[in-house]
Amino acid sequence: MTLERTFLMIKPDGVSRGLVGEIVQRIEQKGYRIAAMKMMTIGPDMARDHYAEHRTKPFFGDLVSFITSGPVVAMVIEGERAVDGIRAMMGRTEPKDSPPGTIRGDLAVNLSRNVVHGSDSQESAKREISLFFHEGEQNDNTRADHAWLYPIQKKKDR
């Protein structure tokens, strides 16, 4: 079993609507560990770096404008298959296509106000984490229920 780290951001619409607590609760109840978390307002340069893969798309300016419009909550989440697991919890990018029970299916309003951003690969996670967090800002503590969530497989005697 290998634990992964991924990046999750609650966007300005999620923060302004008071959804931070519910989103954090869902993450922790699922068994993921929050290795780092901070509220911040993203500046235009960081926003452009964060959305660099969309730089040539017509909606790039709107992305930068929205993500800099208010505070966000940036997090490093750790757990088994964290990238895929958090993506599943978030739901599809378009909220109307997200099933009930997902963050976007339950809480998001529309495509441009979809509450959260999460890394789509381990490579993206590493890049995004390094953009938002310095090494010293990430914690390596263990959850009290870690042994229950991630039991060690014992070798059978032969």
Catalytic residue flag (residue 134)? no
- Quote the pTM value: 0.88
> Of the residues 50, 54, 117, 134, which is catalytic?
117
CATH 3.30.70.141 fits 3-123, yes or no: yes
CB distance 11 to 115 below 8 Å? yes
- Compute CA distances 17 → 13, 64, 105, whole Å: 6, 20, 16
Of 43-47, 138-142, 146-150, which gets the smallest average pLDDT?
146-150
- The domain locations on the chain are 3-123
The pLDDT tens digits for 25-34 are: 999 999 999 9
pLDDT per residue as tens digits for the range 56-75: 999 999 999 999 999 999 99
Least confident of 69-73, 126-130, 151-155: 151-155
